[in-house]
Amino acid sequence: MCFIIITGFTSKHHDAPTNYYGIPESLNFGALTYNLSWSSHPNDNYYKQEYIPKDNEVDNFKDMVLIDFIKTDLPVSTAVDAQVATIKERKKTDAVCNYQLINNASTGEYILDFIMSQSKDDAVTLVEWNGYLYKPYTDKSGHKGVLLFGISHRAYNNEVNGFLSSLGKYRHDQLKALTSYEIPQIQIQ
């Protein structure tokens, strides 16, 4: 079973997205409204939906909200461990890459807070910060699994230094909003 959930730096298909969750196609998070822009159902157990503000592009977004659901009986820690292993591997070749993991043992939830970058000719051309909330979840139809609600923020080229210098406050504010956000109740369609 695949647990690779990093937004990554690859291009997306531009087909009209399918709403696999039966939730609103516009979500408000913080001061932004995000619209369903891309979705995927690559196997029987994995669903993914990505939302971006109307002034962003799927291939070149600055802000994103993502909701992933994996139907599984495995514990949430298995998905988190797989993501952390991917980040640790990336750290070997990405000097910016780093992460912090917080576990709420009483709820079974985890927050994975991480940053990664992309470079060309020894210059950082893209930096991406992510806050992922993982939780055990059962949808309205009884599908059990792991739900990931994530936020992602990027900066490109000459915006990278400003992004990195303001990341501390931004990160703090976004993680606070993430922990108190009321995630829509999904139902696999």
pLDDT digits (tens, 9 = 90+) for 137-181: 998 889 999 999 999 999 999 999 999 999 999 999 999 999 999
pLDDT at residue 26 tops 60 = yes
3-state secondary structure at position 80: helix
| Residue 115 host element (H or E) | strand 109-120
Q: What pLDDT, on the 0 to 100 scale, is given for residue 152?
A: 97
Q: What pLDDT, on the 0 to 100 scale, is given for residue 13?
A: 53
pLDDT at residue 7 tops 80 = no
**Neighbour-count burial of 148, counting CB atoms closer than 10 A to its CB (0-12 exposed, 13-18 middle, 19+ buried):** buried
pLDDT digits (tens, 9 = 90+) for 38-93: 999 999 999 999 999 999 998 899 999 999 999 999 999 999 999 999 999 999 99
The residue written with tokens 């939830």 in the block is 109
pLDDT at residue 122 tops 50 = yes
Structure-model confidence comparison of residues 139 and 11, the more confident one: 139
CA dihedral 135, 140, 144, 150 (to 10 degrees): -30
Question: What's the mean pLDDT in 118-127?
Answer: 92
Q: How far apart are CA 113 and CA 130, in angstroms?
A: 6
Using alpha carbons only, give the angle 15, 18, 20 rounded to the nearest 5 degrees: 155
Q: What pLDDT, on the 0 to 100 scale, is given for residue 151?
A: 97
Question: What's the mean pLDDT in 115-139?
Answer: 95
Q: How far apart are CA 86 and CA 89, in angstroms?
A: 5
With CA atoms as reference, report the closest residue to 153 among 181, 179, 116, 111: 116
Q: Which fold has domain 26-180?
A: Protein Transport Mog1p; Chain A (3.40.1000)
